[in-house]
Structure 1
């Protein structure tokens, strides 16, 4: 009997040893919680977080560049950067998570899944988004893990020089692959619908042009101190023109349908907070234009009238509108990071949601632009300037400004009335 017990016990031990608990009882793998995703599931997530990442960087930058400030004097807490430059009380920055987890981890899974079925269109789009993400992240943080970020439990930091070297190589390779029909017209490519890709609806020609636009943005980093020579300037102008002059070029925009939480544009009045603690909802409702932005940049007048408007720049009353509080519709501003006086209220300052204006960015049903026509024009103008073509740089800059004014609905009479021409 004892021998039989021993044999039974030994048999059970062998079963556990060779099958493991995963296969024997299936306790490690839930059929309801798969650890892999399909390409059609991953791409909508990637494009959504690519747009969210643009917002995250812009939301920080609008305060750090001292374009906006807040009514409060507090410089601590999770929004410390909006009232000053105090970062010691902050322990999470959404841009870092966006790049390495929300985008990086999901796009790696998407590319892995696409490689298994040879659907190369998903690979091209995923790599393009990661190029954009890497560029934004290293420009904000400098050194960062890249080469072994997903292969090591203790990834090392690549130098910014190494990261830029990779980005130049990646941009060149992507441009070539988008022109390779073995990739763009591969018979195994799964058709991409608008539901999967809210930006270009799977149009690889447009994604290829966006890759070229990213390459132009990348090359601009060479000026003025890295490789500032006529040949580099010529290439940058050529890269920008290749995109702007192509009839298939379309700004990469992520449109929001409006609704609840993340269905709303991050800059809209709903101020959605995505993923709770690792995100920042916009603070336009409690923010104020700085003297630098309102007076020095927009040319705001001390005294407004109906003829000339708020400022020399006719976009001023499209970006923000007076609240008509206490009979005053003036465009008040505030020095950066000092907080408003105790006798003042936030309603004494302009409405940054521009309820009476025409700002396409602060609508709940608005859009996030990954890169604009104007940016490409300014890239071209910068290269023209350093090449010595100052007249060309002026004309390109002028056209970019007019194009931006038209985006905000500024009509020609407003331009003439403000002596902008």
Structure 2
């Protein structure tokens, strides 16, 4: 297991009766534990999921670091070598293989919680059931067919067979329905223990379990939308049926704020926000971590903010400097790179201060708020944009509903601004357009007012000349923008680095937006290879003929 898991596992053994600060206490020894209960396992499992998802464990082992390159958000800086697979799209069986191993390791934690649930811990087991869906969905979306039915059986089955991705998708919906039913049943069970502060996502208690049901509903929408764009008539009929069922079942609603993990991270060694610890500052350090200088924003993503008068850029990146044509002076500017370019910018301005200097994550900004900032599991903006897409395509009510779609679209942008401008020590809150006290609302209003004729921002505008697409004619000839296009575009901006894997999945599903690919003749890969660890131990069960060009079942567009 990875070091973070080892460090945090000890903390989870004593969580039932302790404060949140003890979730990151590393003084206990897990090897001496003689028994364990679900409440002692839950916090650690959730913290580990967040670290695997958000990009805070180590290189080659987390979803958002991988997807930030694939989806066009990140490029390699000129201060480091390597990143050859990101820059060439030539993947191998060892590329990000720890995603597979870490996720299955985490799934085993949730399986143990489920196995131990019984009549005493049914709420903990229901949470674990939801989080198993969350993790399995990540695996299916990056690998396709995976071990599922016969997985998580330990020594009883060390070489599990593979299930079809489409079959797993359908069962994930079943599992989410079952988890919500389990929570409702547990409410009438006098023997069921109340979830306490070991719930480092929603805080436990009755309110916490209500929010877990809403999260399950939002995950159902994510799943159904992902498989909604194929030409498979049977699958389309299934999606229509299940969308209608979700609309009927979701009496408790959907998420109304960002879903985050917050075990009370502290500015101590092995206790910091994992993304901050990797790309920001080590505990007590005054110099940034080395990986802070390894990556930088792409020219493409910088252009989207600048050309749309989007103030969020000032919360995401620190300015570099741009050399003028004479080569004698440079001015402050946002400077990116094109993934795959031979000599990407460095960060040293030189003695004359006249060279081009690249931009990096803003220290204290959205991505590197603080050592104690929470980590994201699902953004409210993602959910609202997904719901807007379902409404405008007629998936939600059977026929397109422009009014509902517009409301959710605009609130999705608003939610992104609130997330972007939220202080690192402030808990996520539901954004309300009339609540001017929320950080980000003023900037949102300014952004919308500055883009009334921009088809990528304004709901009613139908065209754009903003160079959001790569190509010689980008930004020259007006292009018609459908309402689905603008939803996906704004969703892409909202998910930058915080939820890059969702943007990557949406791109493979919809081919939107047309971000600039790496400077390589190689085609953009459609999936990851099965890891070498699996090839070495379970080769007989791995599907044959799989290449990086092989598509996940819901990926039908080029």
TM-score by length of 2: 0.58
Determine the structure 2 residue equivalent to 1:152.
157
Distance 2:450 2:245 in 1: 33
How far apart are 1:167 and its partner, in Å?
Answer: 0.9
How has the CA–CA distance of structure 1 residues 270 and 145 changed in structure 2, closer, same or farther, with 3 Å as cutoff?
A: closer
Determine the structure 2 residue equivalent to 1:199.
201
Note if 1:328 corresponds to 2:328: no
Asked whether the equivalents of residues 42 and 106 of structure 1 are also in contact (C-alpha less than 8 Å), the reply is: yes
Note if 1:59 corresponds to 2:65: yes
Determine the structure 1 residue equivalent to 2:366.
359
How has the CA–CA distance of structure 1 residues 336 and 122 changed in structure 2, closer, same or farther, with 3 Å as cutoff?
A: same
Note if 1:100 corresponds to 2:104: yes
Note if 1:178 corresponds to 2:183: yes
Deviations 1:45-84 (A, max 9, x none): 11111212321211211111121101259885xx555444
How far apart are 1:125 and its partner, in Å?
Answer: 1.0
Distance 1:341 1:209 in 2: 44
Determine the structure 2 residue equivalent to 1:134.
136
How far apart are 1:323 and its partner, in Å?
Answer: 4.4
Note if 1:293 corresponds to 2:293: no
Asked whether the equivalents of residues 200 and 207 of structure 1 are also in contact (C-alpha less than 8 Å), the reply is: yes
Structure number with higher helix proportion:
1
Within 5 Å, give how 1:200-279 maps onto structure 2: 200-202=202-204, 203-225=208-230, 226=232, 227-228=235-236, 231-232=240-241, 235=244, 238=247, 249-255=256-262, 256-268=264-276, 270-271=278-279
How has the CA–CA distance of structure 1 residues 241 and 414 changed in structure 2, closer, same or farther, with 3 Å as cutoff?
A: farther
How has the CA–CA distance of structure 1 residues 239 and 330 changed in structure 2, closer, same or farther, with 3 Å as cutoff?
A: farther
How has the CA–CA distance of structure 1 residues 234 and 158 changed in structure 2, closer, same or farther, with 3 Å as cutoff?
A: closer
Structure 2 residue matching 1:179: 3-state secondary structure: helix
Asked whether the equivalents of residues 73 and 339 of structure 1 are also in contact (C-alpha less than 8 Å), the reply is: no
How far apart are 1:113 and its partner, in Å?
Answer: 2.5
Deviations 1:185-211 (A, max 9, x none): 4222233321x1211122211111111
Distance 1:367 1:321 in 2: 21
How far apart are 1:380 and its partner, in Å?
Answer: 1.0
Distance 1:282 1:199 in 2: 30
Determine the structure 2 residue equivalent to 1:46.
45
How has the CA–CA distance of structure 1 residues 74 and 287 changed in structure 2, closer, same or farther, with 3 Å as cutoff?
A: closer
How has the CA–CA distance of structure 1 residues 32 and 371 changed in structure 2, closer, same or farther, with 3 Å as cutoff?
A: closer
Say which one has the larger Rg: 1
Distance 2:227 2:195 in 1: 36
Determine the structure 2 residue equivalent to 1:419.
451
TM-score by length of 1: 0.75
What is the total number of aligned residue pairs between the two structures? 363
Distance 2:101 2:181 in 1: 30
Within 5 Å, give how 1:81-92 maps onto structure 2: 81-88=85-92, 90=94
Deviations 1:276-328 (A, max 9, x none): xxxxx994432121122122x32x25xxxxxxxxx622211111121469752
Distance 1:240 1:405 in 2: 30
Distance 2:87 2:243 in 1: 42
How far apart are 1:36 and its partner, in Å?
Answer: 4.7
Within 5 Å, give how 1:342-357 maps onto structure 2: 344-345=346-347, 348-355=357-364
How has the CA–CA distance of structure 1 residues 192 and 85 changed in structure 2, closer, same or farther, with 3 Å as cutoff?
A: same
Please identify runs of 4+ aligned residues in structure 1 that moved more than 6 A: none
How has the CA–CA distance of structure 1 residues 268 and 328 changed in structure 2, closer, same or farther, with 3 Å as cutoff?
A: farther
How far apart are 1:139 and its partner, in Å?
Answer: 0.7
Structure 2 residue matching 1:201: 3-state secondary structure: coil
Determine the structure 2 residue equivalent to 1:405.
417
How has the CA–CA distance of structure 1 residues 75 and 64 changed in structure 2, closer, same or farther, with 3 Å as cutoff?
A: farther
How has the CA–CA distance of structure 1 residues 323 and 370 changed in structure 2, closer, same or farther, with 3 Å as cutoff?
A: same
Asked whether the equivalents of residues 317 and 354 of structure 1 are also in contact (C-alpha less than 8 Å), the reply is: no
Distance 2:341 2:367 in 1: 30
- Root-mean-square deviation over aligned CA pairs: 3.5
Structure 2 residue matching 1:369: 3-state secondary structure: strand
Asked whether the equivalents of residues 217 and 254 of structure 2 are also in contact (C-alpha less than 8 Å), the reply is: no
Q: Which runs of 5+ in 2 are unaligned?
A: 1-29, 55-61, 282-288, 323-328, 350-356, 422-439, 453-457, 459-558
Determine the structure 2 residue equivalent to 1:396.
408
